[in-house]
A and B are shown apart, each in its own frame.
Chain A
């Protein structure tokens, strides 16, 4: 049973455009929703995170939108840059562990 569903699998965006990645979860007990960014050959690194008592969180060009009733959350990357090209993972947590989505490969074309 996949507890965190992520879409799309891959995404191509032009430089300066908006990248949008969506995730849906099933377990209403999840209480922490981070996004991780991974470059090829490296480990993932935390990008931004949100808790369910907040509907939106913005850090620079990155924004998480959270819809608790729909059990969905999304990552928006504004003014996407070629350096943003990476794999992005959403995740959800309760207590001790993180459950990850399957990832989205983002390519920002120059």
Chain B
């Protein structure tokens, strides 16, 4: 089945540790996105990539990093510089730009910093 796979679904981290969230898609989509979801805050864009080896900062990129070495993969690293990393992280992809069609979301990764 085509779709987006995020892993792990749940992750616990100690303060000061970096953690990488995986996002893989087999939809052959060019564009991929990372959003952060907090209760009552909606979805806020962290990073996005429209093509391999290129990515752009979103609204809340500080403390995060990404790479796009393959079309299918767009991992997100939450670094120790992120002051409040506990959140629900959503990866998405779209065939082209977000204004031309649907974003397909994964089921999310919930990160808890202890």
Q: A10: shortest Cβ distance to chain B, in Å?
A: 10
Q: Judging by beta carbons under 8 Å apart, are A32 and B42 in contact?
A: no
Residues of A within 8 A of B56 (CB): 96
A-binding segment of B11-19, B71-79, B105-113: B105-113
Query: Contact partner of B105 among A43, A49, A102, CB < 8 A?
Result: A43
Task: List chain B residues, Cβ under 8 A from A89.
Answer: 42-43
Which residues of chain B are near A103, meaning CB under 8 Å? 40, 42
Residues of A within 8 A of B31 (CB): 96
B98 touches A102 (CB 8 A): no
Q: For the complex, what is the distance from the CA of A9 to the CA of B41, rounded to whole Å?
A: 10
Q: Are A45 and B105 in contact (CB under 8 A)?
A: yes
Count of chain B residues with a beta carbon within 8 Å of a chain A beta carbon: 26
Assuming the A-B contacts A42-B107, A43-B90, A46-B103, are A97 and B45 also in contact, with contact meaning beta carbons closer than 8 angstroms in the complex? Answer: yes
B42-A43 in contact (CB<8A): no
Interface of A is mostly: strand
Total contacting residues, chain A, CB less than 8 A: 25
A:75-110 near B, CB below 8 Å: 89, 93-103
Instruction: Give the shortest distance, in Å, between B18 (CB) and chain A (any CB).
Output: 24
Q: What 1/0 mask marks residues of chain A from 1 to 38 whose CB sits below 8 Å from any chain B CB?
A: 00000100100000000000000000000011010100
Asked whether B50 is an interface residue with its Cβ less than 8 Å from the other chain, the reply is yes
Q: Do the beta carbons of B108 and A95 come within 8 Å of each other? A: no
In addition to A46-B102, A100-B43, 7 A-B residue pairs with Cβ atoms within 8 Å of each other are A43-B105, A43-B106, A43-B107, A96-B98, A98-B103, A100-B35, A102-B42
